[in-house]
A and B are shown apart, each in its own frame.
Chain A
Amino acid sequence: MIPSAFAYERVQTVEQAVRALQANPGAKLLAGGHSLIPLMKMRLATPTRLVDISGIRELRGVWKKDDRLVIGALTTHREIATDRVVRTHLPALAEAASRVGDLQVRNRGTIGGNLAHADPSSDLPAVALAFDAVFDVLGPEGMQTVPIDGYFLGPLVTALPENSVITAVSLKLPPSGTRSTYVKYPHPASGYAVVGVAAAARVEPDGVIDFVRVAVTGAGDVPYRAQAVEDALLGQHVSDDLIREAAAHAADDGSISGDLFASEAYRRHLCSVYVERALRKVLSRG
């Protein structure tokens, strides 16, 4: 399969990338290419120009800034999965990145491309939602920040302003003592998430849950925060029954739909099963 013809340019700075997008209405950014090139090969995307940002050095890397973990947009899934800072401070993100596709895909795909593409079955959106991600974005109007809340508008549709480049994604570090995880039911053929759950929680010494985050990807038209699950847990004493009852609300906040592989009812059921598994991992003692 061969994409339709296009022009190609490499840019060295984010400013050049923005200018190239503005000057060429049919242009698209190219990062790792692992969402865009497959679409172009099937001619589901036919950009007239690719603006390759993969050589922009400053868009790579992970660093801590105040209470946030900042991840350069071009940082690959593999780099995130193996990064010591990520593994220490946000294990859920490292786990999610390590579950993306396969070894070859993780060598190429980037966090910026993953979240810009906004495939509803992608893994990273669940983690981004659970930890209040904020995008640093450069556009024609200059630098701005875009919060994750309200970012995912529909399958492959986001609130990212036109002709703009995500330079970094920052995630809010949870309070110390929080445990976090990402669990996933991969589609047996594609490997994408049929359901993926990011969860984080902290339990006080007296057994009361004083911090909890749960977000779900894969099951719905857009990934979502499972607010109803969080509400059922926050301020409560951990118990087996509590976890089960809370997990029963896993699909409440999503707009869940069925497809050829999994019916709506089955997906709702999977949401509860995987939210429960994630909660058991972060709430079990020892």
Chain B
Amino acid sequence: MEATRMTVTVRVNGREYTRAVEPRLLLVHFLRDELGLTGTHIGCDTSQCGACTVLLNGEAVKSCTVLAVQADGAEVTTIEGLGDLSHLHPVQEGFWEKHGLQCGFCTPGVIMTAAGMLAQNPNPTEEEIREGLEGVICRCTGYQNIVRAVQYAAEKMKGAGAETEVAAAGADASAGGDA
């Protein structure tokens, strides 16, 4: 069938962009190919790995599973808009301080997922952090330092002294929400 283009306006990292796109264009391709924001990665393209995670109206979503037309009128934050070298976002700082990455391929998605998680739950337990990271796959780190990085960010965002050494392993598991 004829692919009719539609005009979409999306606010990305505080700047408004208007483009004519095919309805089937995925948000991740819109960001990477139309806007040149290649910080958002494509790992699996099957909604599993989370490398493509961005904030859509403040919520972490997998941008390979969202159409650009669905984001018309919405606000998107990508890794490029989260912070910059002189003002790192607390999650970015956490990754730096706690060595939350190795090759770095998954990192933009993991950081955006963590930023979305902390926005929804500023005070997560270690178990909640691990559950919150279920939708991201990192083939390098083993996740230990990622969890530490998120704990660092949560502390920092609380405004308390950031440098508490928190053990990423071995805390007791307390299942929330039991009947």
Which of A's residues lie within 8 Å of B, judged by CB? 1-8, 30, 33-34, 37-38, 40-41, 48, 50, 52, 54, 78, 81, 87, 91-92, 94-95, 98, 101-105, 107-108, 179-181, 189-191, 281-282
Contacts and interface: CB of A to CB of B under 8 A. Distances in A.
Interface string B69-87: 1100000000000000000
Nearest to A181: B179
B47 interface: yes
- A1, A87, A104, A180, most chain B CB atoms within 10 A: A104
A98 B177 contact: yes
A5 B2 contact: yes
Nearest to A278: B179
A175 to B, nearest CB: 15
Given A48-B1, A102-B135, A104-B50, A6 B24 contact: yes
- Interface SS of A by simple majority: mixed
Nearest to A97: B177
Nearest to B120: A78
Interface stretch (B58-66, B95-103, B166-174): B58-66
27 contacts: A1-B45, A4-B24, A5-B2, A5-B24, A7-B23, A30-B70, A33-B67, A33-B70, A34-B65, A41-B45, A41-B46, A48-B1, A52-B69, A54-B70, A87-B177, A91-B177, A95-B179, A98-B177, A101-B135, A102-B136, A103-B113, A103-B135, A104-B61, A105-B62, A108-B61, A180-B179, A282-B179
B62 A104 contact: yes
A34 B47 contact: yes
Nearest to A94: B177
Given A1-B46, A81-B177, 5 more contacts: A5-B1, A5-B22, A34-B47, A103-B132, A103-B133
Contacts of B134: 102-103, 191
A6 B23 contact: yes
